[in-house]
Structure 1
Amino acid sequence: MTATRPRDLFAVAVITALAINLLVRLSYGSLPPLPLLGGATLGVLGIAEAVGGSMLRARIRRRPGTQPVQPLVAARAVLLAKASSLAGAIMAGVWAGVLGYVLPRAGDITAAGSDSVAAVVGLVCALGLVAGALWLEHCCRTPDDPEDERNGHAADT
């Protein structure tokens, strides 16, 4: 399995942002106001994944006082990280698409001003989820084998 590439996530976010921006342009007048903390859940998930990744990394590296990680647990963590990074990229695209529409209109339309703040909160939290997921995925990598390093060979990943 290969590591998630940030450029792939960026492409997903850009395509989503363009599609959502078009949809918002067509239907902004009929949408309800965006809740200020509507995207905050994504940030909480990102923090949880980052903290979980740090704890899992210690276990994978077999630091003193930690229990070894079962392979299935690590595989599930990688699956969660990959899914979360993709979901975070999609939601970052959604919030960026909304922000791209409402930010220029914030001075003219009262609702656009509050929706801009909500979109910024959502975008930041979605990017936090992507960062937490990428960190979790990074933490699930196995450490290099010291035997291979002594012989001058890099371990296969």
Structure 2
Amino acid sequence: MKPIRHRDLLVAFLGAGIVAHLVVSLTYGTLPSFPAPAGVTLGVLGLAEAVAGWILKGRVERRSGSKPVEPLVAARAVLVAQASAVGGALVGGLWAGLLAYVLPRASTVTAAASDTTAAVVGLLCALVLVGGALWLERCCRTPDDPDEQRRDGGSGGGAATR
């Protein structure tokens, strides 16, 4: 299994941001206001994935007192991490597109001022999700992957599932 490319996440983020900005600019007057805590769920998921990564890292490295990770568990964790990273990039792009539209209007339009807060919270929480997902994916790499040793010059840290 190959690690997710950061370039793919950036393309998803930018694409979703452009689409969101276009849709919001065409329909902003008809949209309901966005609640400020709307994106908090993504941040909570990101923190949960970071904690899961920290726990799995100890098990993958076979630290004393921890039981080894079954390969299927590591593969599922990597799949969840990759899906979360893409989902977080897409939703982050949506929040960024909204933010790009409402931020310049926040001083003159009352609704845009409150939507700016929601967009900032949503964008930050989406970035937390992407960060937690990338950390979880990285924690599932085994220290003895020969492909990773070639890329890193022998330092180890390959994917837990190949």
Q: Provide TM-score, normalisation by structure 2.
A: 0.89
Number of the residue aligned with 2:141: 141
* Distance (whole Å) between structure 1 residues aligned to residue 76 and residue 35 of structure 2: 32
Give the conservation status (yes or no) of the 8 Å contact 2:42–2:128: yes
Deviation at 1:7, TM superposition (A): 1.7
Instruction: Name the SS for the 2:36 alignment partner.
Output: coil
Residue matched to 1:62: 62
C-alpha displacement of 1:6: 1.3
Tell me the residue number matched to 1:88: 88
Deviation digits for residues 17-36 of structure 1 (CA, Å, limit 9, x no counterpart) = 00010000111111111010
How far, CA to CA, are the matches of 2:67 and 2:32 in structure 1?
A: 49
Q: What CA distance in whole angstroms lies between the structure 2 residues aligned with 1:132 and 1:32?
A: 30
The offset of 1:156, in angstroms, is: 9.5
In 2, the alpha carbon distance for the partners of 1:105 and 1:141 equals: 45
CA distance in 1, matches of 2:36, 2:80: 27
Matched residue pairs, number? 151
2:70 maps to a residue whose letter is Q
Task: Name the counterpart of 1:78.
Answer: 78
Report sequence identity in percent. Answer: 57
TM-score (norm 1): 0.92
Q: Deviations over 1:97-122 (max 9, x none)?
A: 00000000001100000100110000
Gaps of 5+ in 2: none
Q: Which runs of 4+ in 1 moved over 3 A?
A: 153-157
